[in-house]
Homo-oligomer: A and B are copies of this chain.
């Protein structure tokens, strides 16, 4: 299997990939509380996992490099639970700008940020325009759960979309890093359902500390999780992302 991770590749290999106009995926995650049964790195791990799978799935058709993941995002709403890291918006902006600028200076021309954290979605959508203007280069963004929303919906039983430390995230964790799931705590891992951010129909948006949503740090019902479901979701998300990579590749002509 071809290596696609930037940090696992050598500089000459990366120069060769830049010369082939490879697409660079930049996973953007978060390090934040995910209830008592999941590790704090879930959003980061899943974004990177889907990127690596998509890069493999696209191999042969589209040259792809997966940059190291931005493991810290916007998680102020989880801070009261402990175990959580967060950046201010200006720092998040500066970090993404400098990383994207480095990627461009390394000779690549196509960057797709692949987000894994609901709390980053609006900021990333806002920053895409800003980064495009600042760097005079096309920067695109998606979330793995947006590109793969169909696969996610089909695999889930108790919910329609990802919530937080829920059936979906727990299933994918069981598939991708089962040793990090505290299965013995799963039977209490349930909380109220939340809306998918992009389907949020509340007319007024405001900052909501996650503790106001759920005291346990879990939204949705993780008790229904299984590694098999998780594998289906990850595969589906990766395939959907690989399709997008093919679209981006076609556009370059």
Contacts and interface: CB of A to CB of B under 8 A. Distances in A.
Contacts of A74: 126, 129
A6 B205 contact: no
B33 A84 contact: no
Nearest to A15: B82
Contact of A106 (B72, B84, B130): B84
Contact of A207 (B45, B81, B132, B203): B132
Contacts of A15: 81-83
Interface stretch (A36-44, A56-64, A227-235): A36-44
B102 A82 contact: no
B95 A87 contact: yes
A87 B93 CA distance: 12
Nearest to A44: B7
Nearest to A100: B85
Contacts of A79: 102, 105-106
A213 interface: no
Interface string A91-109: 1011101110011011100
A85 B107 contact: no
A58 to B, nearest CB: 14
Nearest to A130: B89
A171 B181 CA distance: 34
Given A82-B107, A94-B91, A125 B122 contact: yes
Interface of A: 5-15, 18, 31-41, 44-45, 67-68, 71-72, 74, 76-77, 79, 81-91, 93-95, 97-99, 102-103, 105-107, 112, 119, 122-130, 132-133, 138-142, 146-147, 149, 180, 182, 198, 203-207, 217, 240, 244, 247-248
26 contacts: A5-B41, A6-B31, A10-B33, A10-B35, A11-B33, A11-B82, A18-B82, A72-B98, A72-B102, A79-B102, A82-B106, A83-B106, A90-B90, A90-B94, A91-B97, A91-B98, A123-B126, A124-B205, A125-B126, A126-B126, A133-B207, A138-B206, A139-B207, A141-B204, A142-B203, A146-B203
